[in-house]
Amino acid sequence: MVYLFDAELPTEKSVYYALTNIYGINLSTAKHICNLAGFCDNLKIKHLSKDQINNLIKIIENLNVKLTSELKKSELKSFQNLVSIKSYRGLRRIYGLPVRGQRTHTNAQTSRKKGQRINANSKKARKKK
């Protein structure tokens, strides 16, 4: 097994598809990385030499793309910012409701149930006061 940036890359997959296992790399970024490294589309991970793997790591680091824990931290910080300024999106995320305008009348049953539980608890708390 080959480990890059806290991700396990399957040896039987091509480099192009295996790179998408790294959190923060999608297909278009993986294709760009493969083009920069000079790999063909069907080159498998198990056929890479240590020099090619080191070259791959250098290319990914030079792209200045946020990956793994750094990307997760920035997403969490963005979410916490939405909640702290009490924006509409932040409040919807807190209540577990759809954030991007989806309807909840007939769709998003799971989200609605989560929201109802939270809303029901807050209503009970208000009645007790």
Q: Give residues with Cβ within 8 angstroms of 69, minimum separation 6.
A: 6
Rounded to a whole number of angstroms, the distance between the first and last alpha carbons of the chain is 59
Higher pLDDT among residues 113 and 13, named by residue? 13
Find the domain containing 31 and state its range: 2-62
On whether the CB atoms of residues 7 and 20 are closer than 8 A, the answer is: no
Q: Is the pTM of this model over 0.75?
A: no
pLDDT in tens, 50-66: 999 999 999 999 988 88
Q: Is the pLDDT of residue 85 over 90?
A: yes
96 lies in some domain: yes
Q: What local confidence, expressed as pLDDT, does residue 118 receive?
A: 57
12 lies in some domain: yes
Q: For the chain, what is the domain count? A: 2
Q: State how far the Cα of 122 lies from the Cα of 118, in Å rounded to an integer.
A: 6
Check which CATH number belongs to the domain holding 54 and give it: 1.10.8.50
Do 15 and 53 lie in a common domain? yes
72 lies in some domain: no
Higher pLDDT among residues 90 and 107, named by residue? 90
Q: Residue 7 is inside which H or E element, if any?
A: strand 7-9
Q: Give residues with Cβ within 8 angstroms of 95, minimum separation 6.
A: 114, 115, 118, 119
Q: What local confidence, expressed as pLDDT, does residue 38 receive?
A: 92
Do 90 and 54 lie in a common domain? no
